[in-house]
Amino acid sequence: MNIFYLILIFFLSNNVIADTIPDLIGEWYGKNNTYSELKGLKTWEKTINITQQNDRRFKGNFTYSDGTKNFYGIIHPDNITITWVASNSRGYNLGKILEKNKISACYVESGIDATVGCSELTRK
């Protein structure tokens, strides 16, 4: 087997080359592990709902102690990396599609309410 085929197999097996955009619509559940100056270390159940998707663009919402937030997101061209933001938030979420029904999502916010948190979410 020549080197070209070995490289191609490596890329395909590591999802570097993907020919279809993943479908993210659904309810995603998991534990969120956060750390902040104001609230310290916390772990809590997190549910997000992705309600619409058009090609790489998607939108959804999640409910938390202060209410419900709508968010808008994008699937990056690698078909693995995702990013979403909310209009009433100072931070953003970076994530990865780990498997068909599993994603990671990490929130980052700087400033006076600096917060970091990550969760692995499974679609039910």
Residue 61 lies in a domain: yes
Residue with tokens 């078909």: 79
Q: For 10, how many CA atoms within 13 A lie in the half-sphere containing its CB? A: 6
Rounded distance between C-alpha atoms, residue 115 and residue 43, angstroms: 13
Query: Within a domain: residue 14?
Result: no
CATH number at residue 26: 2.40.128.20
pLDDT at 66: 75
Three-state helix/strand/coil letters over 7-51 = HHHHHHHCCCCCCCCCCCCEEEEEEEEEEECCCEEEEEEEEEEEE
Task: Confirm whether 3 is domain-assigned.
Answer: no
Residue 17 domain-assigned? no
pLDDT bin (cut points 50, 70, 90) of residue 103 is very high
Identify whether 95 is part of a domain. Answer: yes
86 is a domain residue: yes
Residue 47 lies in a domain: yes
Segment 7-34, tens digit of pLDDT: 545 555 555 545 799 999 999 999 999 9
Query: 87 forms bridges with which residues in the sheet?
Result: none
What range does the domain containing 109 cover?
A: 22-123
For residue 85, is it within any domain? yes
Instruction: Specify the pLDDT at position 8.
Output: 47
Query: Could you give the number of structural domains in the chain?
Result: 1
Which residues have a Cβ under 8 Å from the Cβ of 11 and sit 6 or more positions away? 17
